[in-house]
Structure 1
Amino acid sequence: MSLESAQSPVQTPWQTAAILIGRLIFAAVFVMAVTFKFIDMGATAGYIAAAGFPFPLFLAWCAALLEVVLVLCFLTGAFFTPAALVAAVYVIFLGFAFHGPSHWAGNQAEFGFFVDHFTFLAGLLFAAVHGPGNVLALKLGSAS
């Protein structure tokens, strides 16, 4: 039995609800992140500079624009799989860059923040494989 034939194209109401709630959670996380950036882009740039990256204000704006695009993709379902994969790469990059092993000695809580990125990564990878669902989802940029 192939993987494709094991998946049912018909979703039960609870599956539809779970997918929509998951998409809303993904969008909400990035809405919160981009909101903090827009509230104080200078602070975000300072955080980026403190991590040793060049052009911190430019990178802060790039991050904000990426997060806006991700929010739109998660809310609409458009380009959902590529967006989930881009978000996965972004999240794991953020985990290593801002909460990775070099930060653990100074603050043990950083290890928890680091691990949290992997749980988010797992959800994004699962979403990338299974797509945005059949309800409230534009099928732009998807193979199906």
Structure 2
Amino acid sequence: MTLETAQSPAQSSWTTAAILIGRLIFAAVFLMAVVFKFADIGATAGYIAAAGFPFPLFLAWCAALLEVVLVLCFLTGAFFSWAALVAAAYVLFLGFAFHGPSHWAANQAEFGFFVDHFTFVAGLLFAAAHGPGRVLALRLGSMS
């Protein structure tokens, strides 16, 4: 018997709501990021250049496009687990690249920003393992 079949109707309702709310939160976080990028792609490129990466404008556009795809996957449930894994890797990369140990000496708040990325990664990994839920989810690219 799986956990899904062992749930009471009340448990099923709240877990369905929790999954949908979680998907909306993931989508909202990446949507905010992409809106800021589109609002001033030059500023994003400057931030990328300041971190020492080559081709900052190209990378800014790549990040924006990735974030649009992630938003669509989180909202629709299509390729959900794959998108959550890609998002986890992306967020982990961002944590190290822009808030990692080399930034802590200059600003102690950077350590907090760094740690926050790991809590987000944990949620994304959990979501990847459990999928988009049964409601309002396209079953394209399912890992199971």
TM-score range, shorter chain: over 0.9
Deviation at 1:8, TM superposition (A): 1.4
Paired residue for 2:18?
18
Deviation at 1:137, TM superposition (A): 0.2
Instruction: Provide the rounded CA distance (Å) in 2 between the counterparts of 1:139 and 1:94.
Output: 29
Consecutive aligned runs of 4 or more in structure 1 exceeding 3 Å deviation? none
The aligned amino acid for 1:8 is E
Q: Find the residue that maps to 1:12 and give its secondary structure.
A: helix
Alignment partner, residue 3 of structure 2? 7
The runs of 5 or more residues in structure 1 that have no matched partner are none
Q: Specify the alignment match of 1:83 in structure 2.
A: 83
Number of aligned positions between the proteins? 140
How far is 1:143 from its partner?
3.6
Match of 1:30 in 2: 30
Q: 1:109 and 2:109 equivalent?
A: yes
Q: Provide structure 2 residue ranges, at least 5 long, that are not aligned to the other structure.
A: none
CA deviations over 1:75-96 (Å, ceiling 9, x no partner): 0000000000000000000000
Q: Deviations over 1:1-21 (max 9, x none)?
A: xxxx44315671000000000
- The root-mean-square deviation of aligned C-alpha atoms, in Å, is 1.1
In structure 2, give the amino acid aligned to 1:31.
Answer: L
**Where do 1:1-144 residues align within 5 Å?**
5-9=1-5, 12-144=12-144
2:82–2:143 CA contact under 8 A, matched in 1: no
Residue identity matched to 1:28: A
Deviations 1:31-66 (A, max 9, x none): 000000000000000000000000000000000000
Q: 1:93 & 1:118 partners in 2: Cα distance?
A: 11
**TM-score, normalization by structure 1:** 0.94
Matched AA of 2:102: S
SS in structure 1 at match of 2:52: coil
Q: Would you say the 8 A contact 2:33–2:67 is kept in 1? A: yes
